[in-house]
Each structure stands twice: as structure tokens, then as C-alpha cells.
Amino acid sequence: MRKISFILIIGLIAFTGCQEEIDLDLPATEPELVVEGYLTQRDYYFPDADLNCFGITTISLDTLKFVTAFADAYINIDSIEASTDVFPFNKVVLSTTGDYFANAEPPAVTSAIAVLFEDGNAVETLIEDPSIPGTYRITHLPIVGSSYHITIDAMGNFYETIPEIYGSVPPLLSLSANYGPNFIRDSCAYYMSMNTFEKPGLGDHYRWFFYVNNKYVSSPGNIALTNDENFDGFCLLDFDVYGDELELGDSLVVFQMNTTEGYYNFLSTLQSQTAFVGGPFDAPPAPITGNVMNVTTGKAAYGYFAAGGISANATTTPETRPDPENPNSCLE
């Protein structure tokens, strides 16, 4: 036994004594354009008649339009943009790729010429925001059913995006914070609860954007998106697409956007390559392909220009729990 212990000690000394720090000298790469753009407006889909939710309840068409108009009056998008850190809608943000080990924000691409096209016709040359370098604002009002793409002249190259069909979105009828158990039912907290509905007919895709206390939730794990394969035409009542706990007094703003299949696939790949990694059964790395092409070189660039109708609603978490002396009352 003493002999085995001695051999183990010698082995450990030899192992630790052979460690060497290796610096990887990766070659510098040519910067390439990165695009993040959204063309959106509050263009809603309403059914032709009252909304029948599984025979459980019926929401009249007049009620649908009233609560939507009320939310629109309550949610001032301009004030949200002024008070939050990130607000991507009706903008095109241009930056570049950088070296892997670069410890800096990607540089903005300024003085580019970006043009918006509607059904193949140029409708607006985007103006760069003088206070936010690399951000180009869209003021054109889209039309449901039309296609939109942009061209960009920047960095000595000409870029073009694949056209996106602009679709209407069902309104986000209500948003609230409900007190209930977590997923494993061992504690209670406030969670998001929303009411909306899905357009009948397969082929729709959706994304949700979240702002908690005026801060954009940008974590890849919080990218919330879906297609309508499992709930085509359904009412979505008390639906939680955020998933995380809400703290007491939190404010929450949610944007619901109609998206194309291309954008849905782009985000799904982005999320799988960034958020859902680190396990033994991870899928092998795959290219994250957007809809931006470098026409000059014939190669794909990076990012996505998305178009689709959008709806918004907001809520505030109560300052106290339903039973302050029993925080786990929802488990009883």
C-alpha cells in the first residue's frame, strides 16, 4: 500500500510539473458587415367574427378591438425607446465582425448608404442617427402583404438582403403577473401571464421581446419564439413565454412580433449555438446564416433584416406577495 501511494505521489508531481501555458496566435480576419434591422408597425390581425376559445369562452370582435386600442393608448412606444437601453425597431444597426480575442465592442459602420425597398421599388434612403453612430432609422410605413429588403453600400462592398413578406400580428390582449409555483413546484413567485390568439392557417411564426425595468433582456436563453404547428388558430390564455421569475415591483413590457420562417430559423440556430451549449449531447457547431449577402464578393454576410407587425403590452408586479407571511402559499 505504501508503494502504491509513493507511485501516485510521483505521478502527480510529474503531471503538475509539465503544465505549460500555450498562447493561440490566431490570424487576424478581414472585418465583415453585421446587420440587425427591424421594420415594424402596429398592424393587427383580427378575425372576421367573435373569437371562440375552445368553447370555454367567446371574446366579441368589439371587445378585441377595444382592448387593443386601450393597450395602444397606454403603451407609448416613443417613451419606451427614450427610457430603455436598447430599442431595435424601425432601425438598421450596422457593425462589423472582430477578432476572436478582441476585448471591445464591434465598431459601428458609419456613413453607409442604406436603401429600403418595397415590392422591389426603392421607397426610402435611411438617415443615420447623428446621436447613435451606425444606426439608420426607418420612417416608411409598411403595407401588410408587401415584401421588403434593404441594400447597403458600405466598407467598399455592396450588400443586399433577401426580401421579407410583411405580415400582420394578433394583438397582445393583456399582460399580468400571476403568483404561482415554479417548474419543479418547490417555491412560489410571480410569473408573466399573457392573453393573445393565433391566426388560423399554418405557417405563422412569432417572436417576443422583453423589457424588465426598462432594460432589454438580451440573453440568448431568453429568445422566445415559436411557430404555429401545435396551436394553429388557438386562443393562448394565461400563456408564459418569458419563463423567469419576476421580482416584487418589477415592470415588464412585452412586444409580440409576427416573423417569417427565415427569421425564425435564423434565431433558432443562433440560440442553439449560443444558449444551449456545454452538454455532452450538444449538436456540432453550424453556421448561423441570416438573409444578408455581400453581392461584391458573392459570400454571405452576417445578421438579419426582419419585417413584421408588432403588438405591445405592459404590467407591473405587485409590491407584496398574496400572503407575506407564507411565501409558499401557492403550494398549499
Ramachandran category for residue 201: left, alpha or beta (phi over 0 → left; psi -120 to 50 → alpha):
left
Residue 1: inside a domain: no
Higher local confidence (pLDDT), 55 or 146: 146
Q: Which domain holds residue 265?
A: 33-331
Residue 301: inside a domain: yes
CB 228 within 8 A of CB 204: yes
Residue 25: inside a domain: no
Residue 24: inside a domain: no
Residue 140: inside a domain: yes
Based on the structure, what is the number of domains in the chain? Answer: 1
Residue 20: inside a domain: no
Q: Residue 324 — very low, low, confident or very high, per pLDDT cuts 50/70/90?
A: confident
pTM of the model: 0.86
How much of the chain exceeds pLDDT 70, in percent?
86
CB 64 within 8 A of CB 332: no
pLDDT of residue 279 exceeding 90, the answer is no
Other beta carbons within 10 Å of 276: 12
Residue 144: inside a domain: yes
DSSP string, 35-46: EEEEE----B--
Residue 50: inside a domain: yes
Host H or E run for residue 9: helix 2-17
pLDDT of residue 7 exceeding 50, the answer is no
Centroid of chain to Cα 278: 22
**What is the average pLDDT value for the chain, to the nearest integer?**
88
Q: Residue 276 — very low, low, confident or very high, per pLDDT cuts 50/70/90?
A: low
CB 204 within 8 A of CB 230: no
Task: State the pLDDT at residue 123.
Answer: 98
